[in-house]
Each structure stands twice: as C-alpha cells, then as structure tokens.
C-alpha cells in the first residue's frame, strides 16, 4: 500500500484499494486452500501489487467510461508486463514477479500476455485470476456499478472456463463461508 501510493495519484484511489483488497482476499483464500506458507506470503505480496503496472498506462485510457478501442485495450493489456518489470526493478523474487505477469492468463489458454493454459500458469496467478475478477465485479468501476456477491459468483460460474476448476470449486465454498460470517 505504501509503495503503490507513491506510484498512483489520488484519482487512482480505487485502484489502490483494489490491489489492497485482492492482496488480503487472495492470501486468505490461499490459506483456505491449504497452500504452503511461502506461497501464501508470495500471493499476499503479489496480490497487493499485481496491478502496479497500470501506473504506466495513460489515465485517459484507464479512467475511460466508454468502450475501449482495440488500440486502447492493447495498451491496457500491457499492464501485467509492466507490473512484472516494476516488481523486478523493486527487487522482488522471480516467483512473485511471474504471478503478476500472468494474473490475466485464462485456464483455457485465451488470456494474456502469453496465452498460457492450465498448469502452465503459475499456481499463484491461478489464485489471483479468480480473486481479482471477484473483487472487480463486486466493486464499482468507472463504466459500471458493483454487483452483489451472489450475482458476481453466478457470472463467474458461467465463465468458469477461465479458472482452474479445482481452485474455483474451493473458491465457491470460500465465498459461501465468507458470506455467512
């Protein structure tokens, strides 16, 4: 949070909060899944910095309330590579950097930047892919209002080809438990 504050301006507060929430939730989910301690720590660090590369993307594109052009979307998609480069520059280990690079890879191979599929995608990035989308859907964006948790989960079930099936099945239990607490 302290590091991201230096890179993001005031109007990017929601982006900082998104990073913060994803870091917290992904480490809680990683614990729920039973991942080992080092992996939980890596996921927590990377989760809280995964979108740091968006600091390099022009604000007019990041905060555009209407549909992006292909060129603008191409630029947005570069953020995961920028995150990787920034985290490397900051001295984080390669494992953490790779989680950020691959947090938009889809399990069915349709993601970016390298169209990795299934277990080619690092485990931490597969965890982040799920939590990142859930957080994005359940919070306001400049171009749409937040969904409630139930609707977000329903939409993610329809898009479940994007996620590691074992992790996603556990995520549904995780959210069910989180919703009743």
Nearer to Fe ion, 51 or 164 (CB): 51
Told to check if 42 binds Fe ion by CB under 5 A, we report no
Told to check if 135 binds Fe ion by CB under 5 A, we report no
Q: Which stretch binds Fe ion (CB under 5 A): 32-40, 48-56, 90-98, 148-156?
A: 48-56
Told to check if 51 binds Fe ion by CB under 5 A, we report yes
Nearer to Fe ion, 82 or 174 (CB): 82
- How crowded is residue 138: how many other Cβ atoms within 10 Å of its Cβ? 17
Rounded to whole angstroms, how far apart are CA atoms 59 and 125? 25
**DSSP designation for 110:** -
Q: Which stretch binds Fe ion (CB under 5 A): 49-57, 58-66, 115-123, 154-162?
A: 49-57
| Closest by CA position to 26, among listed 13, 12, 14, 42 | 42
Task: State in angstroms the smallest separation of the CB of 50 from Fe ion.
Answer: 6
Nearer to Fe ion, 136 or 170 (CB): 136
**18 to each of 36, 53, 71, 118, 169, how far by Cα in Å?**
24, 13, 24, 25, 23
Question: How many binding residues for Fe ion (CB under 5 A)?
Answer: 1
Rounded to whole angstroms, how far apart are CA atoms 115 and 107? 9
Q: Which stretch binds Fe ion (CB under 5 A): 26-34, 44-52, 55-63, 70-78?
A: 44-52
Asked whether the beta carbons of 62 and 118 are under 8 A apart, the reply is: no
Rounded to whole angstroms, how far apart are CA atoms 36 and 9? 35
Task: State in angstroms the smallest separation of the CB of 136 from Fe ion.
Answer: 8
Q: Which stretch binds Fe ion (CB under 5 A): 6-14, 35-43, 45-53, 109-117?
A: 45-53
Q: Give contact residues for Fe ion (rule: CB under 5 A).
A: 51
């Amino acid at each position: 949070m302290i590091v991201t504050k230096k890179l993001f301006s005031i109007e990017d507060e929601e982006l900082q909060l998104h990073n913060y929430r994803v870091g917290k939730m992904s480490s809680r989910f990683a614990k729920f899944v039973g991942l080992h301690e080092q992996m939980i720590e890596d996921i927590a660090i990377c989760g809280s910095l995964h979108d740091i590369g968006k600091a390099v993307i022009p604000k007019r594109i990041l905060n555009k309330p209407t549909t992006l052009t292909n060129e603008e979307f191409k630029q947005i998609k570069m953020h995961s590579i920028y995150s990787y480069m920034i985290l490397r520059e900051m001295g984080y280990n390669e494992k953490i950097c790779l989680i950020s690079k691959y947090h938009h890879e889809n399990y069915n191979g349709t993601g970016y930047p390298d169209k990795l599929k299934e277990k080619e995608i690092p485990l931490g990035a597969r965890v982040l892919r799920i939590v990142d989308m859930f957080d994005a859907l359940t919070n306001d964006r400049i171009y749409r209002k937040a969904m409630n948790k139930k609707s977000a989960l329903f939409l993610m079930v329809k898009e479940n080809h994007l996620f590691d099936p074992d992790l996603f099945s556990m995520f549904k239990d995780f959210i069910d438990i989180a919703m009743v607490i």
